[in-house]
Amino acid sequence: ILDMVESKNENQYFSTLEKYLKSTIEVSKIDMMRGNYKEAEHKILKIISITKQYTQFKAVYLQACVLIMNLYDLTGEIEKIIEISEGAKRNFTGEPSFVISESNILNFEATYYWRKGQNEKAIELALSIIELLEKSLKKQKNEETLHVLMNSYYTIAKAYSYAGDYKFSFKYYDKTVEFASILNEKMIMSHAIIDKADDLYNLTEYDKALVLANKALDIRKSIGDNNIVFILLTLGRIYIKKQQYSIAKENLNKALDISHKINSDTHIPTLYCDLALILIKERDFENAEEYIKKAISNAEIKNEIFDMGYAYRTYGIFFVEQKNIFDSCKYFEKSISYFASSGYKHYEMIS
């Protein structure tokens, strides 16, 4: 097709190329739902490389940018999010026909900021997007604007959650679920529900968290999505707190297996740490320490500040259970330092 586009029959084949690009985007979405992230990434990056060359394909280009940023958000490759955003913003025009795609891209940039602990910057950017979209809805209601607004509510909820402001995270998670219900968007509905469950877990409201986590799991199963790692992780952590260790271990090991199958290391350090906590409770210190060391190694490779904090906190607990106060304090201090750098207030407070 590209050879034909570059030939004298350029005009004749542009419509064929556009259909090809759009169908490839749809195939990439299916790959992502199945957890085939590498295949999806390859296809989407090829679309971006083609479409950025032609102004008539700007809409498809922006759509592909949004999709690849979504993929990198799922896989935890957040540095790539900002790379795509910077490239896409060079093509921003502010034209009404592109406001939706441009807002989506800025949403993912806000996501990057809260993941890097820059919560105020994330909240400020998300609020500006929400204000713009809510004004647009007053003039004319359309489904596409509702979708982006729903995503913006979810983004700002995550930022407030990381800032430890659960009053506002709950508010915007509920708004996300409300819009997702209207739009029948079960995927993001499940994300908002499990993230609210995680906040409830942080507030030690384990029974409420368990109800929401199971609800999120049911929704994800109903749409045939394979990436249920964070839901299983949350369930595992809840069952640890409820001292139901066999059920906790079952959920965490299943989450670890899925992570390896879909080639995603996003939650692996946390999974190792939580499995280590169970082993500590079972007084199996040798295997517990092995898991903690795996968590630290994985977090170091990813350069994930929060994961480092969580791993060192787990190491602190490991030494507390063995009455080794000197080493426990040493690792708790390391944990506090990493959590403070990550901007995630809840675990800094716990440590």
Give whichever of 19-23, 90-94, 141-145, 252-256 has the largest mean pLDDT: 252-256
Neighbouring CB atoms inside 10 A of 191's CB total 23
CB of 13 closer than 8 Å to CB of 5 = yes
Helix 186-202 and helix 229-241, axial crossing angle in degrees, nearest 10: 30
pLDDT of residue 345: 60
d(Cα 336, Cα 351) in Å, to the nearest integer? 6
The CA distances from residue 187 to 195, 252, 255, 265, 288, in Å, are: 12, 21, 18, 20, 34
d(Cα 113, Cα 118) in Å, to the nearest integer? 5
Does the pLDDT of residue 198 top 60, yes or no? yes
* Amino acid residing at 61: Y
Does the pLDDT of residue 45 top 80, yes or no? yes
For 254, half-sphere exposure in the C-beta direction (CA atoms, 13 angstrom radius) is: 17
Q: Give every CB contact of residue 124 below 8 A, 6+ residues apart in sequence.
A: none
pTM of the model: 0.75
Among residues 67, 85, 75, the alpha carbon closest in space to that of 26 is found at: 67
Of residues 16 and 194, more confidence is placed in 194
Burial of 50 (0-12, 13-18, 19+ CB in 10 A): buried
pLDDT digits (tens, 9 = 90+) for 129-167: 998 888 878 877 788 889 989 999 999 999 999 888 999
CB of 189 closer than 8 Å to CB of 223 = no
Does the pLDDT of residue 4 top 60, yes or no? no
Among residues 272, 328, 260, 334, the alpha carbon closest in space to that of 297 is found at: 272
CB of 288 closer than 8 Å to CB of 279 = yes
Burial of 202 (0-12, 13-18, 19+ CB in 10 A): buried
For 174, half-sphere exposure in the C-beta direction (CA atoms, 13 angstrom radius) is: 6
Of the ranges 8-22, 216-230, 279-293, 296-310, which one carries the lowest mean pLDDT score? Answer: 8-22
Does the pLDDT of residue 180 top 80, yes or no? yes
pLDDT of residue 52: 86
Mean pLDDT across the chain, nearest whole number?
A: 89
CB of 72 closer than 8 Å to CB of 84 = yes
With a pLDDT cut of 90, the percent of the chain lying above it is 58
Gap between the terminal Cα atoms of the chain: 58
